[in-house]
Structure 1
């Protein structure tokens, strides 16, 4: 992860060293000495850690899918109870909040439900965007025959909204900041790829784009801002993208 931070902004995906690629989900689990996640911010009842690409946020159903952010945070704080507040996709890296008490879990969940938590993501997408900024509103629903894909569905989809801003570009790619107002599954990925959105899939997206276009999904949760459940103070955690 430290090596990843030394990469210059705008580094082409093909030049990212393999040390920054996510491990295969079928690889042997790492030793417990390497399981602790970097702590970005910590309060008395919560912690913000940095999730690497290639790690689940919560346990999966299969026996080989038990390793996850929640389990590792529980190992880091064995005297407390780690509780999931929100999730990042397996392929997505970046900041994620984990509650360390029942009361903090309730408070943070309420903040999410009332849309009082702001999140920012950085992604590299395929192609050049015609606009430097904008708002994407597309109704999203589960694509049941093609799970875990989501789809734009004007009849059955739930409302979604994502703000975006182009911050850099090069031959065949654009670096974009996304701020999702709603929090549907794969929202940013669908909004980037869909013809009524940016029509520019995130590089490395195996579900909505070309998985061979980058060594990993080029999507990173760069910041999250929320109120400390204990003090009420506004706190913000930031993480630089590893690409």
Structure 2
């Protein structure tokens, strides 16, 4: 029997806790009681440990860059039937891969004798050679000489062209005003000026070519070294992808290269979940339940709350976990369950041209990847003869409220134009999990999709699309705040991120299972919409109060 060094037995009596029938669905879950106990033990350790120093951003007096960290726990059962748990962290912790009580990384790139470290020395030697050449005095001087030569050549040639231009005007004037002017002499002057320009051009071309050859002697060597370095780096990366391999319950190894078809995203395999499962399979430990939580200050772009549980990321972890959890019964995938089943679509306004419906929470606006039941499919059945796309705008599946439905392509285009021109006025009501101190304001935080964790959005000032929201407080309810949102733009998850992000209101919407804490529902409702009727041209306002009970 293998002895798992990082197996931690439960210290308290857990006999009254029923084991889960299926393993945790990693991408959407409610932590099992055993996972909560294991996570609490890890959090208590983090609060009091002296084994390492890492600035999580929880202590204002601590020096160094504040970096929050995702931690994971895996409840396991050993071959004797004893229950315990494993701990892991994502990435590195305090610049190290190995710490007491935590499972090791799947592949340790920091190990001194590893092929990665040995190849890294070779790459560093290339870097040093390139740096020395790029900073060589003769090379830098040759670049200056080339630049100065080009400038001087341009200056003198341009001056000669100007001389020719002036001379041409002077000779033209002489020919016009003085019939007795020596035409032959004037033509000779013109020829001599042209010949001088050609000689000057050849002269400076020769000097520029000589200067370029001196520079080229260096750049050729530098470019050759860079190409060799690129090839070495690519070979090392490919070798790393092949060596970085993950086990499943059948002891089948599958490398990063195989899993991602040779192109894994940066940091793939460094998350807590793959580390935990790989160690469990290495040591004959049966996975029972898993959970991951954030510890520390939130990153500037993402929304991460201290001590809150989060699902595994989709971009980096989903392909890996698909292999590692092969044939292990998982809890139901909620993304394949129709959330609209048994719910009705209320019509709150209708005429011959358009309809306004009140969409329930957890109800798709349009068909999804696995679920077709949606506002669109319901409306299509309701109005089988309607033309056009029908759905003028969308709401998140979890958001309830008003949606505009066009019964013809012409009406659709008119309403779409109003949205594009920002003539449609929308008002949302939301209950926030926290106290908002100011009474009103504007949030202006650009958003883009989190490429490693779709469909989540992150704040990105470099590549994000503009996203702007006006807001005002309606009332305080203990530690919660009821607000109105007036979105100026309509980005995906805009109100949810603007509410939860530390640069926004820093108070997630109650029930937000992506950026806050899960509850009975997302407490966000599109309660009012104002638009100009495409046919009658009158202003129409439709309002339906939220039902947050």
What TM-score results when the alignment is normalised by the length of structure 1? Answer: 0.84
What is the Cα deviation at residue 236 of structure 1? 0.9
**2:491 alignment partner in structure 1:** 184
Q: Is residue 2:379 matched to residue 1:73? A: yes
**1:193 alignment partner in structure 2:** 500
Question: Alpha carbons of 1:25 and 1:225: their partners in 2 closer, same or farther (altered >3 Å)?
Answer: farther
Instruction: From 467, 475, 500, give the equivalent of 1:168.
Output: 475
Q: Secondary structure at the match of 1:87?
A: coil
- Write the distance in 2 (CA, Å) between the matches of 1:28 and 1:48: 21
Encode CA deviations 1:133-164: one digit per residue, 9 max, x unaligned: 11111111111111000110010011111111
After TM superposition, the structure 1 = structure 2 runs for residues 36-185 of structure 1, keeping only pairs within 5 Å, are: 37-62=345-370, 65-81=371-387, 83-185=390-492
Question: Alpha carbons of 1:149 and 1:230: their partners in 2 closer, same or farther (altered >3 Å)?
Answer: same
- Write the distance in 2 (CA, Å) between the matches of 1:220 and 1:28: 17
Q: Which has the larger strand fraction?
A: 1
- Write the distance in 1 (CA, Å) between the matches of 2:384 and 2:415: 21
The unaligned stretches of length 5 or more in structure 1 are: 1-22
Q: Which has the higher contact order (CA 8 A, sep 6+)?
A: 1
4+ residue runs over 4 A deviation = 27-31
What is the Cα deviation at residue 80 of structure 1? 2.0
Contact 2:446 2:467 in 1 (8 A): yes
Q: Secondary structure at the match of 2:419?
A: helix
Q: Which has the larger helix fraction?
A: 2
Length, aligned pairs only: 214
Encode CA deviations 1:72-94: one digit per residue, 9 max, x unaligned: 11222223236111100111001
**1:8 alignment partner in structure 2:** none
- Write the distance in 2 (CA, Å) between the matches of 1:28 and 1:159: 31
- Write the distance in 2 (CA, Å) between the matches of 1:106 and 1:99: 9
Question: Alpha carbons of 1:149 and 1:27: their partners in 2 closer, same or farther (altered >3 Å)?
Answer: closer
- Write the distance in 2 (CA, Å) between the matches of 1:111 and 1:230: 13
Q: Is residue 2:209 matched to residue 1:209? A: no
- Write the distance in 1 (CA, Å) between the matches of 2:339 and 2:498: 34
The unaligned stretches of length 5 or more in structure 2 are: 1-333
Contact 2:338 2:373 in 1 (8 A): no
What TM-score results when the alignment is normalised by the length of structure 2? Answer: 0.38
What is the Cα deviation at residue 24 of structure 1? 9.2
- Write the distance in 1 (CA, Å) between the matches of 2:476 and 2:412: 39
**1:231 alignment partner in structure 2:** 536
**1:17 alignment partner in structure 2:** none
Contact 2:361 2:398 in 1 (8 A): yes
Encode CA deviations 1:101-149: one digit per residue, 9 max, x unaligned: 0001111111111111010000100111010111111111111111000
What is the Cα deviation at residue 28 of structure 1? 8.6
Q: Secondary structure at the match of 1:61?
A: coil
- Write the distance in 2 (CA, Å) between the matches of 1:43 and 1:197: 39
- Write the distance in 2 (CA, Å) between the matches of 1:120 and 1:220: 9
Contact 1:55 1:91 in 2 (8 A): yes
- Write the distance in 2 (CA, Å) between the matches of 1:220 and 1:48: 14
